[in-house]
Structure 1
Amino acid sequence: MRLAVGTELLAQALLFDMDGTLIDSRLMVETLWKDWCDAHDVDFDWVLPQLHGVRLADSVRRFTPPGYDVEQEIRTMYDIELHSTDGIVPIKGALELLASLPEDRWTIITSADQELARARLAVTGIVPPPKMVGGDDVKEGKPHPAGYLEGARRMGCAPAQTLVFEDAVAGIRAGQAAGARVIALATGHPGEIPEGVEWIPDMSALRFVDVGADGVRLRVVA
């Protein structure tokens, strides 16, 4: 369900996914994985719907055919992703929204590890928040709720007091499993947003209103 203009959102903390929510790395990631699939004789059309929102290592372990050194495959793919930042840009409205928010009321929960997340954020002009949770900070990646549970803990509130912003099904499921209210972003996977999940087109649809004892208040504007 698309959120109507004028809808107000209230939470003690805002937990943002990174890729597809704050930054657009879709083309770069899909190009790298298409090359990997071609080199390993894996059907990219099968891999693609299961790719986004999941930790790189988890994906490599899942899709690597028998006979390959999986740990070496992870290291190789990671090195390629770490040094492939061309074409990564902020999602529409992300810079403006983040700049308007109180710094102690939001953080990022990403499947990328801390090093990779910081490399991608650096090219978009987004300063990594001090309480950011990377894929290397938790034992289980999305769709497991561990990242969002850890994010709520670091922000000093219960998961039910947070708003989660996600674009991929794995992340949406992770936020839901954590007990948070989840707002989906129709930035890259609009046809995959599960039925009944609230959504907005991108970050330009949100405005910061105010912050008080009851939390941070946002309003849907488009």
Structure 2
Amino acid sequence: MYSGRKFAAFLFDMDGTLINSIASAERVWSDWAHRQGLDVSAFLPTIHGVRAIETITGLALPGVDPAHEADLLLKAEAADLDGILQIAGAAAFLNSLPPERWAIVTSAPRELALLRMQAAGIPVPAVIVAAEDVSRGKPAPDCFRLGAERLGFDARDCLVFEDAPAGITAAEAAGAAVMIINATHKHALQSQHAAIGGYEGIGITLDENGWIALEPQRSAA
């Protein structure tokens, strides 16, 4: 678990990493996919960790305007916040971090990200990189590089918390270390990266320069 390694900052994906929004997202996207005549069960696994506009563009559906459809999906997702919960221990873990040393880097639009954070009880960081902040979404590394830059660091000195293959690829391309969150996975991702099921078993220590190390959380006596 990166024992003894120190990081300048932590960069967190949101959906599936800090919050569980799968039920909400899949309700909205299932309705949309059904209207488009798609195989819903085959399509749904492709939506996670990727910006809506890129998901829709990749389908190349005749007569479909990806920007328009992405906007409609945003409105539908913003109206459906039922069942959105934080990943175990996420809020407490975030609150333990120095506020200038972490950011959320999400493929969700900012408006939706803020609504979901509020619904899940997740603290809002000073730095958020959302879908509209980059021209290329995950798996491109741009978002993580931008998140690190806005915190004043290089992505290569950061630890990225991710749950989706597109995000993991983006973090790798940015040169960051990766911690996989398996909380919402039916089957753990097969990866060479460290992985945890939630945040309840980990804590942090800070050195004299504010760099962060992960430590196993000691149980109360």
The equivalences for 1:132-211 within 5 A come to 132-189=128-185, 191=187, 193-211=189-207
Work out whether 1:40 is the aligned partner of 2:40: no
The residue that corresponds to 1:119 in the other structure is: 115
Q: In structure 1, how many angstroms separate the alpha carbons of the residues matched to 2:202 and 2:83? A: 24
**Residue pair 1:208, 1:217 contacting (<8 A) in 2 also:** yes
Identity among equivalent pairs (%): 36
Segments of 5+ residues of structure 2 without an aligned counterpart are none
Q: In structure 1, how many angstroms separate the alpha carbons of the residues matched to 2:92 and 2:134? A: 29
Per-residue CA deviations over 1:61-85 (Å, capped at 9, x if unaligned) read 2236323343332221111012211
1:58 alignment partner AA: E
Inter-CA distance 117–211: structure 2 relative to 1 (3 Å threshold): farther
Q: In structure 2, how many angstroms separate the alpha carbons of the residues matched to 1:133 and 1:88? A: 20
Inter-CA distance 84–9: structure 2 relative to 1 (3 Å threshold): farther
Cα offset for 1:129?
A: 1.1
Cα offset for 1:158?
A: 1.3
The TM-score with structure 2 as length reference comes to 0.91
The residue that corresponds to 1:109 in the other structure is: 105
Q: In structure 1, how many angstroms separate the alpha carbons of the residues matched to 2:174 and 2:86? A: 26
The higher relative CO (CA closer than 8 Å, separation ≥ 6) is in 1
Cα offset for 1:48?
A: 2.2
The TM-score with structure 1 as length reference comes to 0.90
Work out whether 1:82 is the aligned partner of 2:78: yes
Q: In structure 1, how many angstroms separate the alpha carbons of the residues matched to 2:42 and 2:73? A: 19
Q: Could you say what secondary structure the match of 1:121 adopts? A: helix
**What's the C-alpha RMSD, in Å, of the aligned pairs?**
1.9
2:138 alignment partner AA: K
1:14 alignment partner AA: F
**Residue pair 2:88, 2:198 contacting (<8 A) in 1 also:** yes
Segments of 5+ residues of structure 1 without an aligned counterpart are none
Inter-CA distance 206–186: structure 2 relative to 1 (3 Å threshold): same
Q: In structure 2, how many angstroms separate the alpha carbons of the residues matched to 1:46 and 1:191? A: 17
Q: Could you say what secondary structure the match of 2:191 adopts? A: coil
**Residue pair 1:9, 1:219 contacting (<8 A) in 2 also:** no
